[in-house]
């Protein structure tokens, strides 16, 4: 029920916008999304998100917010349809990042509405049409979710957990989450948590003691299992922050629906790979956050690539190349993550190869870093076409929305990205973005609040 309520709104919004336009008013969204009601993408190479080979010479017809027809040859345009010439271009589903923490919710000077809005604009500019925020200031993130769903702001679709559920003193407890340690005392706390309508409830299940981190309290696995059952019975999915195979096994046994990270503390066992394959528990990839430290120290020139220069301000790039880089260079954590990232990459590759479900999550808050996640998966031995599936259909599956989002199929919501170069030849070509479509509307990328549009 919640799903259809969430996803049916764009159509309702379009009618509302027409009415508003006739009345001579303008909603903010009209500056960002074109108001055409039908689109025909002609003669394009289609990479549909399901992992199969690319289809050349495809035609894709969109009416209102849905894909209505896909053909291997010319088809008639609907009345009044806007035509897009797809020849020499590549159509993929809108990318989905199912582990972000939107900038501006926490930290100095927070909540910072401008930081959150700019990050959302940067995601949309970068072809990311859905994000799931896996833990943030609840008032901050749910307010952005409300504004996205009402059409008041230009934004990817926003899915969010709000605060996390953990033990007193547990991972993330300091950020104002829901703290539980016994049953049934946890019930009223969970009721209050669910009253905010999180899209997934995020647990943290990690006692640290790894990398450079001291030990902290851990949620009682039996209390967690009861809480998960209680939440699932009320129709809401769950995810768990884990980092070790043993805790991931306990989380799956406790009924957690998804895992918010790969295993980073060491190589996975064959038995765990088998468990991930047989349960098909979706696991977020989150390689970018750990690799990002040594990447900045050793290769700061990545910030000169076009998409980073479009989305990051000159001041931010200078700060990253200067004091932030110096800080990372001095941290043992940077070295630990550099050593362990290839282990996490290989763990993901093995689980994927065995038929497990990996979903793209960057654990960051910028569009270019979502693309970095694709590069790291391919560098770890996952094929380009599978990496795109991980960043689209598998990510939709993580959210339980694979019937509505994540692939280019008749009947699905029309969230699409048209690329100027082949992402199956080089995964970095997902950054060669020419057109972004959300809910069947072309996004006016030139109207988004990103440095590319603000610098003269």
**Which residues of the shown chain bind Zn ion in the complex (CB under 5 A)?**
134, 363
- Within 10 Å of residue 267's Cβ, how many Cβ atoms? 12
Rounding to the nearest 10 degrees, give the CA dihedral for residues 3, 7, 13, 14: -150
Residue with smaller CB distance to Zn ion, 173 or 414: 173
Q: Nearest distance from residue 207's CB to Zn ion, in Å?
A: 17
Q: Nearest distance from residue 317's CB to Zn ion, in Å?
A: 24
Q: Nearest distance from residue 132's CB to Zn ion, in Å?
A: 10
Phi, psi angle pair for 33, to nearest 5°: -115, 130
Phi, psi angle pair for 282, to nearest 5°: -65, 135
Q: Nearest distance from residue 131's CB to Zn ion, in Å?
A: 12
Measured CA to CA, the distance from residue 412 to residue 183 in angstroms comes to 41
Q: Nearest distance from residue 292's CB to Zn ion, in Å?
A: 13
Cis peptide before 181 (omega within 30 of 0): no
Residue with smaller CB distance to Zn ion, 84 or 263: 263
Q: Nearest distance from residue 99's CB to Zn ion, in Å?
A: 5
Residue whose entry in the numeric block shows the structure tokens 């539980």: 180
Cis peptide before 170 (omega within 30 of 0): no
Q: Nearest distance from residue 100's CB to Zn ion, in Å?
A: 8
Residue with smaller CB distance to Zn ion, 344 or 419: 344
Residue with smaller CB distance to Zn ion, 135 or 391: 135
Q: Nearest distance from residue 222's CB to Zn ion, in Å?
A: 25
Measured CA to CA, the distance from residue 254 to residue 6 in angstroms comes to 28
**67 and 412 Cβ atoms separated by less than 8 Å:** yes
Residue with smaller CB distance to Zn ion, 134 or 252: 134
What the block records as the tokens of 363 is 């654990």
Residue nearest to Zn ion (CB): 363
Residue with smaller CB distance to Zn ion, 363 or 384: 363
Q: Nearest distance from residue 321's CB to Zn ion, in Å?
A: 25
Residue with smaller CB distance to Zn ion, 98 or 153: 98
R_g of the chain, CA atoms, integer Å: 21
Q: Nearest distance from residue 378's CB to Zn ion, in Å?
A: 22
The tally of CA atoms less than 13 A away on the side-chain side of residue 17 is: 22
Residue with smaller CB distance to Zn ion, 134 or 153: 134
Q: 386: which residues sit within 8 A by CB, 6+ positions away?
A: 51, 352
Residue with smaller CB distance to Zn ion, 86 or 135: 135
Measured CA to CA, the distance from residue 219 to residue 204 in angstroms comes to 8
Residue with smaller CB distance to Zn ion, 106 or 183: 106
Measured CA to CA, the distance from residue 127 to residue 49 in angstroms comes to 14
Q: Nearest distance from residue 164's CB to Zn ion, in Å?
A: 9
Residue with smaller CB distance to Zn ion, 206 or 415: 206
């Amino acid at each position: 029920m919640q799903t259809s309520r969430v996803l049916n709104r764009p159509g309702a919004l379009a009618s509302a916008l027409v009415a508003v336009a006739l009345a001579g008013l303008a909603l903010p969204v009209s500056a960002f999304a074109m108001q055409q009601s039908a689109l025909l993408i002609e003669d394009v190479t289609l990479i549909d998100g399901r992992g199969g080979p690319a289809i050349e010479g495809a035609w894709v017809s969109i009416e209102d917010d849905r894909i209505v027809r896909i053909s291997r040859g010319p088809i008639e345009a609907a009345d009044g349809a806007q035509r897009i010439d797809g020849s020499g271009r590549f159509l993929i589903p809108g990318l989905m990042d199912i582990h972000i923490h939107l900038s501006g919710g926490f930290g100095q000077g927070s909540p910072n509405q401008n930081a959150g809005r700019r990050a959302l604009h940067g995601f949309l500019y970068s072809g990311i049409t859905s994000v799931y925020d896996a833990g943030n200031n609840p008032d901050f993130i749910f307010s952005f979710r409300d504004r996205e769903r009402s059409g008041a702001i230009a934004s990817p679709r926003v899915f969010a957990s709000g605060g996390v559920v953990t033990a007193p003193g547990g991972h993330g407890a300091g950020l104002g989450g829901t703290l539980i340690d016994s049953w049934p005392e946890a019930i009223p706390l969970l009721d209050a948590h669910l009253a905010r309508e999180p899209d997934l409830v995020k647990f943290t299940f990690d006692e640290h003691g790894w990398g450079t981190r001291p030990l902290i309290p851990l949620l009682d696995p039996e209390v967690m299992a009861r809480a998960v059952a209680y939440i699932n019975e009320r129709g809401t999915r769950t995810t768990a922050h884990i980092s070790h195979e043993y805790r991931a096994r306990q989380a799956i046994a406790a009924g957690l629906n998804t895992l918010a990270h790969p295993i980073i503390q060491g190589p996975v066992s064959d038995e765990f790979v088998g468990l991930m394959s047989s349960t098909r528990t979706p696991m977020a990839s989150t390689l970018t956050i750990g690799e990002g430290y040594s990447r900045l120290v050793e290769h700061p020139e990545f910030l000169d690539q076009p998409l980073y220069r479009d989305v990051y301000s000159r001041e931010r790039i200078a700060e990253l190349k200067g004091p932030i880089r110096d800080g990372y260079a001095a941290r043992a954590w940077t070295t630990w993550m550099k050593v362990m990232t290839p282990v996490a990459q290989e763990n993901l590759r093995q689980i994927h190869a065995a038929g497990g479900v990996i979903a793209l999550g960057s654990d960051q808050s910028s569009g270019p870093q979502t693309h970095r996640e694709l590069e790291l998966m391919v560098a770890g031995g996952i094929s380009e076409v599978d990496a795109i599936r991980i960043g689209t259909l598998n990510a939709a599956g993580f959210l339980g929305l694979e019937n509505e989002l994540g692939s280019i199929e008749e009947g699905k919501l029309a969230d699409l990205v048209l690329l100027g170069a082949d992402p199956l030849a080089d995964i970095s070509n997902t950054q060669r973005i020419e057109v972004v479509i959300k809910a069947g509307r072309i996004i006016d990328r030139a109207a988004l609040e990103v440095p590319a549009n603000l610098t003269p």
